[in-house]
Structure 1
Amino acid sequence: MSLEKSRLTLVVPQHNDWECAQVLLDQINELADRFSVDKISVVLVDDFSDQINGLIELDWDRLDIKIIRLVQNLGHQRAIAIGLCYAYDHYDGDWIGVMDADGEDRPEDLFKLWNQAKKQSASVFAHRNKRSEGMLFKLFYWLYKFVFWICSGKRISFGNFSVIRGDRLKALVHDPNLWNNYPAAFLKSKIGYSTLSTSRGVRYHGYSKMNLTSLVIHGLSGVAVFADVVNTRMIIFSLAIILSALLGISIVVSIKILTDSAIPGWATYSVLAFAILLFQALIIAFFTLFIFLSNRSVMAVQPVKAYVNYID
């Protein structure tokens, strides 16, 4: 299959945001004309919207639009994964961009990301220097990044908005982790990247679909990408508790046998408390080890080999 040559291939997922997508594409087309960009290929992934095609027009002189509709609602991250796989199979782009359709990823920042990527010859992700959500959302977002760091040992300071090198796309679309979380999968791939500070834009129409529930799901899917690291850390943590409990029992028994300073009854309760802690740690270690070995024995599905099954 011959691939269509494109300088920039842009993947834009959307669900019931046709009005926003219209405005976004209008602005990208205008900016492409201003910066004398010949053609930008856009893969617009419709994540099973109520309307099959709500775009008013598809005639832009600087944009080549391809709309792919999913057979069911798969969620934001899997829509991105399918869009990237489609771009890999149908376009030979030097650069691959990913951005939302609602306007919170600003079109002018897309070109800033692209310019920095070309200068550095490296993938670039947008880092939000200012967020417009409420305090509760910001607190949970900070908590998500903290838990992600504790569980994976990696710091994540970026989301989906990015421009990556086209020759790195092959590694991503063959990575099963791409199904769960695009930025976390990229982070785990160990592909070189840099970040660019950007501000969060304002939605063109409607309201944001990201809420606390969506954020928790997004956070858990990101941590799931590093499941092997999380399981390993849980096993080590459980072993540390087991050793601490055994040490505590040994100290209590030694004091009871070798000294006269023991208070009647305290040794029994102390040993019982340490024994309960020991038993719980053993259960956690056993089940974590079982899950770890089970996951290692299963061959996960590569997105590039399965994505066509979800395109209508």
Structure 2
Amino acid sequence: MKLSIAVPWYKSRDSVFALHDKVCAAFAQMADFDQLEFVFVEDCGNDGTWEKLRELAAADPRVKAARLARNFGQHHTLTACLDLCTGDWIVVMDCDLQDRPEEIPRLYAKAAEGFDMVCARRGKRQDSWAKRMSSRCFAWVFSRLSGMPYDCEIANFRIFSSRVLHAYRTMREATRNLPGQLQWLGFSVGYVDVVHGARYSGRSSYTLTKLLTLAFDSIVAYSNKPLRLAIRCGALLTLLSLGMALWILVRKLFWGIPVEGWAGVMVSLWFIGGMIMGNLGIIGIYLGKIYDETKRRPLYVLAESINIAPPAE
């Protein structure tokens, strides 16, 4: 059998050879496999990572290396990796060695029990407090808005069969989120508790803005609950306004209390105006996503590649 190691690269030149060597050492412990391929795609970080990948691919023909024409983002780069994989089992991992290659044999051992996919569940995460909290907040909101359970201790690190890979390749929507898409497919999933390693070098490229953008795009892609929440808020405001109007009428007719509250009227107008604009914004985001899908642009563009056969005409 063949094992594919799919890794998206972005500004991690110092870990290129270290990751390769550690994966080779782990592969040597896996007797069920006789072939190994690396699928490394670089997301145009322009920091020297691509030069390191070219050097590695020249030294090891098992390494398929490609560079995107521009920065497309992690999950689009992962899509490029998985489109190039040819293995019977595929391992997806990050490039910074926080996903420890030493855990790969354990992931496959669990998969051999009859699972189509096995996810690595991180224990004590080697991340900042802010990043851990943002992950938990995203998991909580995503689970409730999408209807799918989401564990913040599970990221991209996992192994899955070629059957899962072929199903994943049929999903060509513009908004990409690998864990969410694989979970949506519904194959049998197992879990292995792993040690979360320290970052080999550098720092995370995910800023707070990028994390919020990814979170919001993922929620919109997998749920229409924000639209339904907007409808519920509108209905609630309507009921409240009718109740207030009835109360003002009763006060005027039975107690003769004059209508007061210029400030209250203005606050209400601003509040309702803000709700209307917010709801229109939510609708606009969904329309924008529909527009992106109808353009049918490629999910990524390869600028150059090494040890990769050109596609058949």
Q: TM class by shorter-chain length?
A: 0.7 to 0.9
Q: CA 1:74–1:279 in structure 2 vs 1: closer, same or farther (change >3 Å)?
A: closer
Structure 2 CA distance for aligned equivalents of residues 270 and 245 of structure 1: 15
Deviation at 1:277, TM superposition (A): 4.1
- Determine if the alignment matches structure 1 residue 11 to structure 2 residue 21: no
Counterpart of 2:137 in structure 1: which amino acid? L
Partner of 2:66: 68
After TM superposition, the score normalised by the length of structure 1 is: 0.80
Tell me if structure 1 keeps the 8 A contact 2:7–2:92: yes
Q: For residues 1-312 of structure 1, what are the structure 2 equivalents within 5 Å?
A: 6-36=1-31, 37-48=33-44, 49-51=46-48, 52-54=50-52, 64-87=62-85, 91=86, 93-157=87-151, 158-177=154-173, 180-204=176-200, 206-211=201-206, 213=207, 216-227=209-220, 230=223, 232-258=224-250, 260=254, 264-266=258-260, 273-274=267-268, 276-293=270-287, 295-296=289-290, 299-300=293-294, 307=300, 309-312=301-304
Tell me if structure 2 keeps the 8 A contact 1:81–1:178: no
Structure 2 CA distance for aligned equivalents of residues 54 and 40 of structure 1: 20
Q: Secondary structure at the match of 1:34?
A: coil
Q: CA 1:185–1:222 in structure 2 vs 1: closer, same or farther (change >3 Å)?
A: farther
Q: Secondary structure at the match of 1:79?
A: helix
Structure 2 CA distance for aligned equivalents of residues 10 and 235 of structure 1: 39
Identity of aligned pairs, percent?
20
Structure 1 CA distance for aligned equivalents of residues 239 and 175 of structure 2: 44
Q: CA 1:287–1:246 in structure 2 vs 1: closer, same or farther (change >3 Å)?
A: same
Counterpart of 2:18 in structure 1: which amino acid? V
Tell me if structure 2 keeps the 8 A contact 1:10–1:41: yes
Deviation at 1:84, TM superposition (A): 0.8
Deviation at 1:243, TM superposition (A): 2.1
Partner of 2:310: none
Structure 1 CA distance for aligned equivalents of residues 64 and 245 of structure 2: 73
Tell me if structure 2 keeps the 8 A contact 1:8–1:41: yes
Tell me if structure 2 keeps the 8 A contact 1:77–1:180: yes
Structure 1 CA distance for aligned equivalents of residues 230 and 205 of structure 2: 35
| Unaligned residue ranges in structure 1 (runs of 5+) | 1-5
Q: Secondary structure at the match of 1:176?
A: coil
Aligned length: 295
Structure 1 CA distance for aligned equivalents of residues 256 and 179 of structure 2: 56
Deviation at 1:14, TM superposition (A): 1.7
Deviation at 1:83, TM superposition (A): 0.7
Structure 2 CA distance for aligned equivalents of residues 198 and 263 of structure 1: 69
Counterpart of 1:68 in structure 2: which amino acid? A
Q: Secondary structure at the match of 1:237?
A: helix
Q: Secondary structure at the match of 2:159?
A: strand
After TM superposition, the score normalised by the length of structure 2 is: 0.79
Deviation at 1:186, TM superposition (A): 2.0
Partner of 1:3: none
Q: CA 1:300–1:115 in structure 2 vs 1: closer, same or farther (change >3 Å)?
A: farther
Counterpart of 2:26 in structure 1: which amino acid? L
RMSD (Å), alpha carbons: 3.1
Structure 1 CA distance for aligned equivalents of residues 221 and 52 of structure 2: 42
Higher RCO (CA-CA < 8 Å; seq separation 6+): 2
Q: CA 1:26–1:265 in structure 2 vs 1: closer, same or farther (change >3 Å)?
A: same
Q: CA 1:242–1:35 in structure 2 vs 1: closer, same or farther (change >3 Å)?
A: closer
